[in-house]
Amino acid sequence: MISIADQLLVLVLLINFISLGTSRLIFSIRAVAVQGVILGILPGLIHPFSWHLVGITVGIITAKGFAIPMLLNRAVRTAEIKREVEPFLGYVPTLLLGAVFTALSFGFAGKLPLLPEHQNYIFVPASIATLMTGFLILTTRRKAISQVIGYLVLENGIFIFGLLLAEAMPIMVEAGALLDLLVGTFVMGIVMNLISREFSSLDTSRLTSLKEE
């Protein structure tokens, strides 16, 4: 089971690079949806069966795999944009930065003390690398949709780390945290639709009326 989990995490890391490297928004949304589904499967692989687990798996897969991607797809369609043009930082530099961050997170995780039973997993580096990827997308892209995708990836990174903490986090808190993050994403999706209606564009660099004079 461990090896399957690790291979899935490698897939998660690959998807990070896809979302960093592509300019096609629909493709990027689909990649993050796949990442969400993988995250939904992961808890089932490393924890013993329980109804709470089933709930989390179903919840994550519906929200991250279907509901949120649908919301984003609709925004892309109504705003009639296909590509992220002119990001603040080009695709090749962000990909390189992504690679550097991934390497650094493996180094960082190697330095920190891990439980012996976690030592063979790549949970910690995968989590930190995904977190950094999300942060990178958030800061380098102009379109509101890309920024929401960045937030989703960041959230996925946090979720991966959360998998190590099944005993420490009571169900209520874990569920509450997940719910808050998902509601946050939904509210962002709604605000994004409002932006596209108001500005007839999803380009956040047009949001400049509130600059310091």
Partner 1 sequence: MLAALIILPLVGAAVTWLIPFDRLRPKVLSLFALAHLGITILLLTDTPPESPGGWIHLDALGKIVLLSTSVLFLFCAIYSIGYLFYRRERSNRVLCVGLLVCLSAASLVTITHHLGLMWVALETTTISMAPLIYFNRNARSIEATWKYLLICSVGVALALIGLYFLAYSTIVARVEPSLLLDDLMRDAGKLSSGWVHAAFVFLLVGFGSKMGLAPLHTWKPDAYGEAPGLVGAMLAGGLVNLAFLALLRVYQLCLATKEIAFFQNALVVMGLVSMIFAAIFMARQADFKRMLAYSSVEHVGIMAVALGLGGKAIFGALFHILANGLTKGVLFLSSGNIHRSYNSKRTDHVRGAMRRLPWSGGLFLAGFIAITGSPPFAPFISEFTIISSAFIQGRMLIGAIFLISLTVIFIGMALTVLPMVMGEVPSDSETTSYRDTIWTVGPPFLLLLLVFALGVWIPAPLMSLLKDAAALLEVPQ
Binding site for partner 1 (CB under 8 A): 111-115, 131, 135, 138, 144, 147, 151, 154-155, 157-158, 161-162, 164-165, 167-170, 172-174, 176-177, 180-181, 183-184, 187-188, 191-192, 194-195, 198-199, 204, 207, 209-210, 212-213
Least distance (Å) between residue 158 CB and partner 1? 5
Q: Which is nearer to partner 1, 7 or 190 (CB)?
A: 190
Q: Which is nearer to partner 1, 93 or 110 (CB)?
A: 110
Least distance (Å) between residue 87 CB and partner 1? 16
Least distance (Å) between residue 61 CB and partner 1? 21
Q: Which is nearer to partner 1, 89 or 92 (CB)?
A: 89
Q: How far, rounded to the nearest angstrom, does the alpha carbon of residue 1 sit from its chain's CA centroid?
A: 24
Class of residue 17 by CB neighbours under 10 A (exposed 0-12, middle 13-18, buried 19+): middle
Question: Within 13 A of 56's CA, how many CA atoms are on the CB side?
Answer: 26
Least distance (Å) between residue 203 CB and partner 1? 12
